[in-house]
Amino acid sequence: MKRSLLLILFTLSACESNQQQVSIAFNVEFNGQPIRCDSESPVALTDLRFFIHDLELTGADGTVVPTRLKRDSAWQNGAVAFIDLENGQGGCDDGTPESNARVIASVSSDSDLAGLQGLRFTLGVPFELNHSNLLEAAPPLDDAAMHWHWRSGYKFLRAGVETDNDSFWFHLGSTACQGTTGNISGCDSPNRPIVELAGFNPQTDSVVIDIGRLFDAVDLEDGERSDCSSGPTEQSCPPVLATLGLGPEASTIADGVFAARPRQATVSQ
């Protein structure tokens, strides 16, 4: 038994030694301008939290570089990473003081990091994890604020903004699911958009989510506070879902909701 354990530890150590770490930074803008929880008028952030999975990096020739999410005690479990760009201050008083603006992954030590030229990931939680029991989940899937109890799954994305007399928030998740928590057979609207950024290098670029583009069809000057919970029959939902490439009004997610920006051009929370 002792010999087998030593062999396992040696194998794991060897695997780790053949890997190099990659840090992928995330940030938020509103129509190309920095936005924070404590931003002054006209628009302030009220929430921005989301899960990602199936992360891939690509080389200059388009070849996929095998990429693995690192495990930690709070933000990544090896399958899913959680990005939290709010800090519980100002307009984000429904949030938490803890935040996380990066994903840590590993690639082969033979990979040319300077030659990486693309990023691809899926927004959300994989089906096999999405409908499990929240009370038995480990971080980052143990956050009750990110769980949609009445839809038997997770909120893949929470996003919101406010002005002096208006606001809008958006919760993205799978809808029209059949079954109960732990026994879901499928969902008519999985709502897991795929984000693909060409020309992205993790050493020099950040992933920016432009919440202004996400809410492009939302009127923040009508004085009516509104929201969307991913329901296809909610009047406010189809235009917002469309910016993520979802629903009958979908265009393409490459329209600017997510973009690659040089790191020095972004402003962190």
Burial of 52 (0-12, 13-18, 19+ CB in 10 A): buried
**Does the pLDDT value for residue 13 go beyond 50?**
no
Q: DSSP code of 16?
A: H
Beta pairing, strands 147-148 & 102-108: unpaired
What is the pLDDT at residue 98?
95
* Digit-coded pLDDT (tens) for 209-267: 999 999 999 999 999 999 999 987 899 999 999 999 997 655 556 558 999 999 865 44
**Predicted TM-score (pTM) of this structure:** 0.89
- Alpha carbon distance 56, 119 (integer Å): 6
| Mean pLDDT value across residues 167-184 | 90
**Does the pLDDT value for residue 15 go beyond 70?**
no
- Alpha carbon distance 229, 189 (integer Å): 12
Q: How far is CA 132 from CA 79, 135, 146, 149, in A?
A: 14, 9, 13, 11
Beta strands in the chain (DSSP E): 19-30, 33-34, 44-59, 64-65, 68-69, 80-84, 102-108, 116-123, 147-148, 153-154, 157-162, 167-172, 175-180, 183-189, 194-198, 205-210, 226-228, 258-262
Phi, psi of 227, deg, nearest 5: -160, 175
Q: Where are the domains of the chain?
A: 20-265
* Digit-coded pLDDT (tens) for 19-41: 999 999 999 999 999 999 998 77
**144 contacts: CB under 8 Å, gap ≥ 6:** 134
Q: Residue 191 CA to chain centroid, in angstroms?
A: 13
